[in-house]
Amino acid sequence: MKTIKGPGIFLAQFAGNDEPFNSLDSIAAWAASLGYKGVQVPSNDARLFDLEKAADSQDYCDEVLGILGQHGLALTELSTHIQGQLVAVHPAYDAAFDAFAPEAVRGNPGARQEWAVNQMHLAAKASERLGLTTQASFSGALAWPYFYAWPQRPAALVDEAFAELARRWQPILDRFDECGVDIGFELHPGEDLHDGVTFERFLEATGNHPRANILYDPSHMVLQQMDYVGFLDVYHERVKCFHVKDAEFRPSPKAGVYGGYQGWVERPGRFRSLGDGQVDFGAIFAKMAQYDFAGWAVLEWECALKHPQVGAAEGAPFIEKHIIRVTEHAFDDFAGGDGALPDFRRMGMS
C-alpha cells in the first residue's frame, strides 16, 4: 500500500496583488510556514507562473522547482481549470467566460477556444518538463444549460454534446499522452463532467482514453447528494488528483439542491473550511489508503463564512492528521506461525 502525499495547498484562491501572495517565492514561503509540503499552482496566473516559458524552457522549470525547493515544497500539479473551461463554452455563457480569456480573443468564441486549446498543449509540455505526471483541469460545458430541461430536449442533443466535447478534447488528451501526463478532470456542477455518469459518457466518447481521469473533490458530491465514499470504490482507478474540501447540505422548506439563486451563505448546500462541514474525511482517507492512491492531498479553500487565511492555517494540520501512514505488514502476522503449510486434517477440515 502507498501513503498519500501531503499536505498540499491549491494557490489559486490565495494569489493576489499584495505580499506575500503576489510572487511564487513569497507565497511559497507563506505556505511552508503553515506546514504545507506541496503546492498546486494555477498556470494562468502570471504573478506566480509563466506557462509559455515553462513549455519552452527547461531552465525556467528548474528555476520554479528550485524556488519551491528552497522552502521545502514540492510542486503537486499544475492547474488548468480556466483554460480547460474555455475549451468548451456554450454560447449562453460566452459573455461571462470572456472575462477569463485574454482581451485579444474576447468577443470571438472561435479565437478564444483556439487560445484555450493551445494553452492546454503548452501545459502538457510544461508538466513534462516539471517532472509531473498529473494535471488538474475542467472539461468545459456544452450540455449544461439542458441538464434539467424544459421543454424536453431532443433525444440526441446530449449525445451530440458529448461527442463534440470528445472531439475537442481528443487531440489534447493525445498530446498529454505523448508527454506522459494524466488530466484529472474536476467533477463539478457547471461542467459537463460533474458526476460518475457524465464522466463515463465522456470516457466512452474518447475511446476510454488513458489520460482522461478524475480530480476527486467530495464537496461537489455533497452538494449533489452523491455517495462520495462509494464513488471511490467505483472509480478509484481513474482518480489521479484529490482536492480536500469540505461542504455541508442542509435542505430547508424553501430551497434544496438548486439553491434558489441565493448567495453562498444562504444556500442549503455550501462549501466550508476543513472540519466545519459534513464530509467524512476519515472514511475518504481510509479509501485512499486502501486503493493505493499515490498522489497528493491538496487543500482547496472555499468557504462561505471563514477568512481564507484562517482556513489555510487550519488546513495543513487537518490534512496531516488524516493522512494514514500505511502498514507494511498485517496486524496479525505475529500469529502466523513459521509459514509452513498447516495440516488441514488436524484443523478439522476433513
Which of 81-90, 246-255, 326-335 has the weakest average pLDDT?
326-335
* pLDDT for residue 330 is more than 80: no
Spatial contact of 198 and 163, defined as CB atoms under 8 Å apart: no
**CATH code of the domain containing 83:** 3.20.20.150
Main-chain dihedrals φ then ψ at residue 47, nearest 5 degrees: -65, -25
No. of H helices and E strands in the chain? 12, 10
Residue 83: what residue type? Q
Residue 25 counted as domain residue? yes
Strands (E), the chain: 5-10, 38-42, 74-80, 134-137, 182-186, 212-216, 239-244, 246-249, 269-272, 296-299
51-57: Cβ within 8 A, 24+ apart:
51/78, 51/119, 51/122, 51/123, 51/126, 52/122, 54/122, 54/125, 54/126, 54/129, 54/130, 55/121, 55/122, 55/123, 55/125, 55/126, 55/129, 57/129
Residue 341 lies in a domain: no
How does the average pLDDT of the chain come out, rounded? 95
> Is 260 contained in some domain?
no
Provide DSSP, 12-24.
Answer: TTT--SSTTSSSH
**DSSP SS3 for 98:** helix
Average of pLDDT values for 168-188? 98
- Total domains in the chain come to 1
The torsion defined by the Cα of 266, 269, 270 and 276, in degrees rounded to 10, comes to 110
- On the question of pLDDT at 103 being above 90, the answer is yes
CB 132 within 8 A of CB 186: no
The torsion of the CA quartet 17, 20, 23, 25, rounded to 10 degrees, works out to 180
Residue 289 lies inside a defined structural domain of this protein: yes
Question: Terminal CA-to-CA distance of the chain, rounded, Å?
Answer: 36
Mean pLDDT, residues 155-165: 96
Residue 191, pLDDT > 60, answer yes
| pTM attached to this predicted model | 0.95
By the 8 A CB rule, do 53 and 47 touch? no
pLDDT digits (tens, 9 = 90+) for 236-295: 999 999 999 999 999 999 999 999 999 999 999 999 999 999 999 999 999 999 999 999
Q: pLDDT at position 1, please? A: 81
In terms of DSSP bridges, do strands 182-186 and 212-216 run parallel, antiparallel, or are they unpaired? parallel
Which one, of 197, 195, 191, lies nearest residue 216 by Cα? 195
Position 277 in a domain: yes
DSSP 321-341: HH-----SS-TTGGGSTTSPP
Q: What is the pLDDT of residue 344?
A: 58
Q: Does 89 map to a domain?
A: yes
Least confident of 27-41, 159-173, 202-216, 329-343: 329-343
State percent of the chain over pLDDT 90: 92
Question: Is 80 exceeded by the pLDDT of residue 91?
Answer: yes
322, 27 Cβ separation under 8 angstroms? no
Range of the domain at 136: 5-246+273-330
Q: What pLDDT is recorded for position 185?
A: 99
- Domain membership of residue 90 (yes or no) is yes
Query: What is the model's pLDDT at position 333?
Result: 67
Q: Rounded CA gap, 36 and 298, in Å?
A: 9
323 C-beta neighbours (distance < 10 Å), count:
16
Which position has the grid cell 482536492?
243
Question: What are the helix (H) ranges across 18-151?
Answer: 24-33, 51-56, 58-70, 81-87, 94-98, 109-129
Largest Cα separation within the chain, whole Å, is 82
- Whether 349 is in a domain gets the answer no
Res 336: pLDDT: 67
Alpha-carbon gap, residue 343 to 56, rounded angstroms: 66
